[in-house]
Chain A
């Protein structure tokens, strides 16, 4: 994962942050697989533009190429998320450097049905 994460971080100009504070690669991978949204200069943008309509697990279960991420963000902008073109690019870059096609599959959570799924409950 180091191979993938570091060049992406460099691109975004957060190399210093990554080098100093990045957890070991396997920990980072595990966090991504478990659906954590890693701290990053782009995170507040993702929280304020993407999580208006859906939770972060919609993002963290995807395993996509850069092009697929950009097209997804473009579609969400057409759907009305209030992000400028520039913000859309920053969001897509954040998603593309974290949830890559070679990341292990997501780790879904088993749970009782949510409220309202069974008559009378």
Chain B
């Protein structure tokens, strides 16, 4: 089955208009320069997405890495900052940054992706920050295993979840605080970190200074920044940002149809996805040799295969994959292309090591989470 029906029709109508509006500056200039640049979605709170040309390398540079916030960035005094570990533990803890720095440090490469990445591409439209493709990035995170921190506190027998919170606070007291939770099994996974560094550098203020949670393979809302409180508990919390928000349908419904609350569950792993970074909608290329380049990733599984299509999904060719597969990171794919004059809708399709492949149509959901459909780029080759 080809893509052209829903995807390309939708894309060519909305997409043609979109390409015209977004083509402020030829995107190839950015691809070459690789400058320090983001696309502003909202000024306050700070929400910026990465530009498309960012997605041609395995590690995303900090200065091109997206930013997502519910509230204003908290002011954190590093000398006074403490991580409180409490609840169902034998020994509650109050750890300083120096305490964490003295513990064994480990490195994990992992993609951080906002659950709403691709929200703008859903039909019918849904409210929220209208991320297109750039609310994701891959970094090398360095820090302390959360497992080691919890071991110091000694969770009690009945412990099953951790509920946690960063230093950020809503503007109004009546707005729910950003509280998240994960099962204890994920919390004590050896790759789950209290990270102090991103790409080898201490976390910047907007990146969660001094410590953020890194929950590899899981959606970005779990990666709480400026972490200050971890409560070990027996059950899941009832807080808004866990019990109502950030939920995904158990079984897909009809697009636009309401989904009962009991048919929604917390999101965990991100799904398999790929993105062409070397081209943007509306690019005009010269005929001749080009290299298609992009990134692919999938929750807790590595990428096995990326295919590319130049004919609307009728035929697919396998792209080359760079480097070894990593469980949580980007895998760069590339494909040589001898371009002839014409109009092209170029798509990529990734398959992970568990056999999951990107779908032609995304699973529509009321908050626009986890978009991972095949998403073509339209370009023209002119002699």
Give A residues with C-beta under 8 Å from B.
Answer: 33, 52-55, 57-58, 61-65, 68, 72, 79-81, 101, 104-114, 116-121
User: 7 closest A-B pairs (Cβ-Cβ)?
Assistant: A80-B174, A116-B205, A80-B172, A119-B201, A53-B171, A79-B175, A55-B43
Contact A104 B17 (CB under 8 A): yes
Contact A114 B206 (CB under 8 A): yes
Contact A110 B38 (CB under 8 A): yes
B199-231 interface bits toward A, Cβ cutoff 8 Å, 1 = contact, 0 = none: 001111111000000000000000000000000
Interface class of chain B by DSSP: loop
A-chain residues with CB within 8 Å of residue B171 when the two chains form the complex: 52-53
Taking A108-B49, A113-B206 as known contacts, 19 extra A-B pairs with beta carbons closer than 8 A to each other, sorted by chain A number, are: A54-B44, A58-B129, A61-B129, A63-B130, A80-B173, A105-B17, A106-B130, A107-B22, A107-B24, A110-B40, A111-B38, A111-B39, A112-B38, A113-B37, A113-B48, A113-B63, A117-B204, A117-B205, A118-B62
A-chain residues with CB within 8 Å of residue B51 when the two chains form the complex: 110
A110-B21 in contact given A57-B43, A79-B174, A118-B63 (Cβ < 8 Å): no
Q: Which of B25, B40, B64 contacts A108 (CB 8 A)?
A: B40
Q: Any chain A CB within 8 A of the CB of B46?
A: yes
Contact B175 A53 (CB under 8 A): yes
B-chain residues with CB within 8 Å of residue A117 when the two chains form the complex: 46, 48, 62-63, 65, 67, 204-207
Contact A111 B40 (CB under 8 A): yes
Would you mind naming 27 contact pairs between A and B with Cβ atoms under 8 Å apart?
A: A33-B21, A54-B45, A57-B42, A61-B129, A62-B125, A62-B130, A79-B175, A80-B172, A80-B173, A80-B174, A104-B21, A105-B22, A106-B130, A108-B49, A110-B37, A111-B39, A112-B36, A113-B36, A113-B206, A114-B206, A116-B204, A117-B63, A117-B67, A117-B204, A117-B206, A118-B204, A119-B201
Interface class of chain A by DSSP: loop
Q: How far is the CA of A107 from the CA of B20 in the complex (A)?
A: 10
Number of A-B residue pairs with CB-CB distance less than 8 Å in the complex they form: 122
A-chain residues with CB within 8 Å of residue B64 when the two chains form the complex: 113
Q: Any chain A CB within 8 A of the CB of B170?
A: yes
A-chain residues with CB within 8 Å of residue B17 when the two chains form the complex: 104-105
Chain B contributes a number of interface residues (CB within 8 A of A) equal to 49
Q: How far is the CA of A107 from the CA of B18 in the complex (A)?
A: 8
Q: Which of B21, B42, B48, B175 contacts A80 (CB 8 A)?
A: B175
Q: Which of A52, A53, A68, A110 contacts B39 (CB 8 A)?
A: A110
Contact A110 B173 (CB under 8 A): no
- Which residue of B has the minimal Cβ distance to A82? B172
A-chain residues with CB within 8 Å of residue B44 when the two chains form the complex: 54-55
How near does chain A come to B125, taking the closest CB pair, in angstroms?
Answer: 5
A-chain residues with CB within 8 Å of residue B295 when the two chains form the complex: none
How near does chain A come to B90, taking the closest CB pair, in angstroms?
Answer: 37
